[in-house]
Structure 1
Amino acid sequence: MKSTTRTLAAVVTGVAAAVGAAAPAVAADTVPVPVPLDGVEKSLNVSLPRAGGELPLLRPGVPEGPRYVEGQMIPAGAVPQVPMGAALPGLSAEAPLPQVVGKGFDQAGVSVPAAALRTLTPGLAVDTPVTAPDSEGFGLPTLKEPQAAVLTPVLQTAPTGVLGLGSM
């Protein structure tokens, strides 16, 4: 086998492995982020805390379309609220605690898993300062007060966490 053929086969194998590994990460809601402290722990010969996190992936949703309301010239939801789905970042950490009596270590740990987060972006509701054509006014629109409102954003989540002591 030529070296160019082997090189091409290695590149194709590497690309296939990268594509295969990326597919599950795209399907996940969060990406794990470990904090690598193993090298420091081994070089200093001490027990260090273990820490890691989870970063959310933002998923935009489909906004509601405009709704036509009788008596209004502009449909409701002309500037719609866009739903965004994601998660709050997660955190996990464990720190060794020396035992006063006995051998080994105890540990103190905290775990705050990623919590689902539902949001809606701000929206705008407006109406024109004229009404629809009126048969009593010879088919002409009449004046009215203009209306405008900012739709407030929505943020819903239920985070949880665990704090504990134990033995390693």
Structure 2
Amino acid sequence: MKPTTRGTLAAVLTGVAAAVGAAATPAAAGETVPVPVPLDGVERALNVQLPKISGQLPVPMPGSPDGPRYVEGRLIPEHALPQLPVSSGLPGVDVRAPLPHLLGDGFDHLGIAAPAADVQTLTPGLSVDTPLTPPNPDNFGLPKPKVPQAAVLTPLLQTVLGANVATGSGA
């Protein structure tokens, strides 16, 4: 391979790496990653006007678990397996489709926008207790038997959805 070819190839690879790095930095800093759907080549190949489609994918962000809580009268702390909060979102979409005029050359459009919605969740957890009480001074420091306890903490899911549908003039 000639030195000029190697230099050109190195310059192209450096430019591509810089473009990918610049595009990835804002996406990693935000809560959603934009996802465009490129249909320009299909429009040119078929000579038709296609919808403009883009979306957003959420980035899940784990939170810190709520640690075990020590309760008087129990040998094992409450929430032995803590619930882990995770905040993320539902994917969003933005579609703008052309609608042909029946009596003219222009186009109207139909737009649907469903932005990414925030989702807060808690994973399932576990709370257990032993079949013995803490040491009892009235019983020479020995524990008394009791009914063992086990509880599964239910998961939680919270979100608010929304979408807009609009029509108007223009492509």
Give the structure-1-normalised TM-score. 0.89
Deviation by residue 1:83-130 (Cα, 9 ceiling, x = unmatched):
001111001112111112233111111110001111110001111111
C-alpha change, 1:17 and 1:109, in structure 2 (3 Å) is closer
Q: Sequence identity of aligned pairs in percent? A: 53
Query: Cα distance, 1:21 vs. partner?
Result: 3.7
Residues 27 and 34, structure 2, Cα contact 8 Å, conserved in 1: no
Q: Which whole-Å CA distance do the structure 2 matches of 1:8 and 1:40 have between them?
A: 31
Q: Structure 1 unaligned segments of length 5 or more: list them.
A: none
Structure 2 residue corresponding to 1:56, chosen from 54, 58, 61: 58
Deviation of the 1:15 alpha carbon: 5.0
Select 1:162's aligned residue among 152, 161, 164: 164
Unaligned stretches of 5+ residues in structure 2: none
Q: Distance in 1 between matches of 2:97 and 2:132?
A: 67
Q: Which residue of 2 aligns with 1:99?
A: 101
Q: Does 1:136 align with 2:138?
A: yes
- Could you tell me which amino acid in structure 2 is paired with residue 143 of structure 1? P
1:25 corresponding residue in structure 2: 27
TM-score (norm 2): 0.87
Runs of 4+ aligned residues of structure 1 deviating over 4 Å after TM superposition are: 2-18
Output one character per residue of 1:10-48: Cα deviation in whole Å (capped at 9) or x when no partner: 766765554444322211111111111111111111111
Aligned residue in 1 for 2:81? 79
* Aligned match for 1:38, one of 40, 58, 67: 40
Question: Which residue matches 2:124?
Answer: 122
Question: 1-side partners of 2:123 and 2:42: how far apart?
Answer: 44
1:82–1:12 distance in 2 versus 1, CA, 3 Å: same
In structure 2, relative to structure 1, the CA distance for the partners of 1:116 and 1:34 (3 Å cut) is same
Task: Tell me the matched-pair count.
Answer: 168
Distance 2:132 2:96 in 1: 65
Equivalent position amino acid for 1:80 in 2: P
Is the contact made by 2:132 and 2:146 (CA closer than 8 Å) also made in structure 1? Answer: yes
